[in-house]
Amino acid sequence: MTEQNGLHSAGAAANQNRSARTAHFAEPNMPFAEFIVLMALLMSLAALCTDSIMPAFGVIGEEFGHNTPQELQKIITIFFAGLAIGQLIYGPLSDQIGRKSGMFIGLVIFIIGNLISWFSTSFEMLLLGRFLQGFGVAGPRIVMIALIRDLYAGREMARIMSFVMGLFIFVPALAPITGQTIMAISGWRSVFFSFILLSSIGGIWLAIRQNETLHASRRIRVTPTNLWRGTKIIFTTPSCLGYMVAVGFVQGPFMLYLSTAQHLFQSTYGLGTLFPYAFAGLAISLGFASFMNSKLVLRFGMRYLVRRALVAIIFISALTLACTMPFDFIPDLWMLFLFFSPLFFCTGLLFGNMNTLAMEEVGNVAGLASAWVGAISTLIAMTIATLMGQIYDGSILALLGSFLFGAIITMFLTVFTERWRDRRDSEQSATAQ
């Protein structure tokens, strides 16, 4: 009887600890559909900044005298550099001043960056504007995750993130088409005006309709002591640290695809103005996966879906390498779509689930946690994309290699993380006994 009581107490303690880690302290105030659309709009600003400008690479290269794929990739990678650095600022800042204020500051800097790019007179000035765009858009992108974590936890958060990611991907899937249309009407610089317009709409919508989710009693001052205490929690929480690093290896191959897609479709496959449609065709696989995940995650759970998706990515990447080798890794376009569509679908299953798993147990420092998760994962992804971009030769070899090895490393990281997490929970249960 004593042993049973002890086991019951240990289980209750473990459940209490887990509940404390996943509790949320605010209630939604917007209709579900409106909340999803607003969050997707704010999050999609980052993707729009990368995808809409792609059709202009050739024109920009000619105007500024930077025509090589490696030089034009800087238009993408410098944006992500600003994004990575900015995330470290806005996360802890939003823990002190609130989620909405953190987003507004980021949106203002984002608009300034777009104005600089709009009126740029050199390639270097354009890159400065792109850096500020990334630094600014880090605000709504990273604080939005903390805002959602204030309202939801666990599988419900993964469901929300899946809906957001689904819309987030479907909108930028059409971005190259929109960017190309704007270019045809009023030139490539006008693309930056569209970013200003969309960010202004999102900011006004946020101000009017969304309540602040971080109550004054839960705010944390940005001091060295608090930053150190919060960072220590983040880097000693198995799920946060493990999935933070793993997300970087998932995003890296996709970032490489973003930075090489224009050259791959327009130069290797000679699609010309049809490039945006090919890009959208593959992006739809990602968006469809996110919407499917919103249903699957409630039935199977995040960890189950992550494991199965990683196994599928490893298998599809290896199979594609073998099948395209006779074609010098430049298969016919139909074959490219045949293999890359399921590859992107599986990647889409990972994005929302892995970000949610990283945030699952650190809701008490959500702003700082989202900052570290975003910054570390983006820096890892940017490093992978930059290094693999240097060996990109117009074929799909570098892309397939990055997807294959990225998935293998991610699988190792997830297994290690879950074992570390289980061992910690066992130790906590033993201590409670």
DSSP 335-365: HHHHHHHHHHHHHHHHHHHHHHHHHTT-GGG
Residue 171's pLDDT is what? 66
Residue 192 and residue 138: Cα distance in Å, rounded?
A: 17
The per-residue pLDDT for 1 is 43
pTM of the model: 0.75
Contact yes or no for 41/194 (Cβ under 8 A): no
The pLDDT of residue 290 is: 78
Q: Helix, strand, coil shares of the chain as percentages rounded to 5?
A: 85, 0, 15
Residue 169: per-residue pLDDT: 64
Instruction: Please state, in angstroms and rounded to a whole number, the distance separating the CA atoms of residues 331 and 336.
Output: 6
∠ CA 208-213-216, rounded to 5°: 110
Residue 227, both tokens: 């930053």
To the nearest whole number, what is the mean pLDDT of the chain?
A: 86
Closest CA to 127 of 69, 179, 81: 81
Whether 360 contacts 154, CB under 8 Å: yes
Residue pair 154/303 in contact by the 8 Å Cβ criterion: no
- The tokens for 219 are 């705010």
- At 153 the pLDDT is 79
Task: Count CB neighbours of 118 within 10 A.
Answer: 17
Contact 410, 249 (CB under 8 A): yes
pLDDT in tens, 242-264: 999 999 999 999 888 888 888 89
CB 355 within 8 A of CB 373: yes
Q: Exposed, middle or buried by CB within 10 Å (0-12, 13-18, 19+), for 110? A: buried
* Element containing residue 168 per DSSP (H, E): helix 154-173
Q: Could you tell me how far CA 252 lies from the centroid of its own chain? A: 10
What superfamily in CATH does domain 25-215+234-432 come from? MFS general substrate transporter like domains (1.20.1250.20)
CB-CB contact of 76 with 259 (8 Å): yes
pLDDT of residue 172: 60
Q: Which secondary-structure segment (H or E) carries 371?
A: helix 366-390
- Distance (Å) of CA 386 to CA 47, 179, 390, 419: 18, 24, 7, 32
Taking the C-alpha atoms of 121, 127, 131 and 137 in order, what is their torsion angle to the nearest 10 degrees?
Answer: 70
Q: Which tens digit of pLDDT belongs to each residue from 188-203?
A: 899 999 999 999 999 9
What pLDDT, on the 0 to 100 scale, is given for residue 342?
A: 94
Q: Which residues of the chain have pLDDT under 50?
A: 1-24
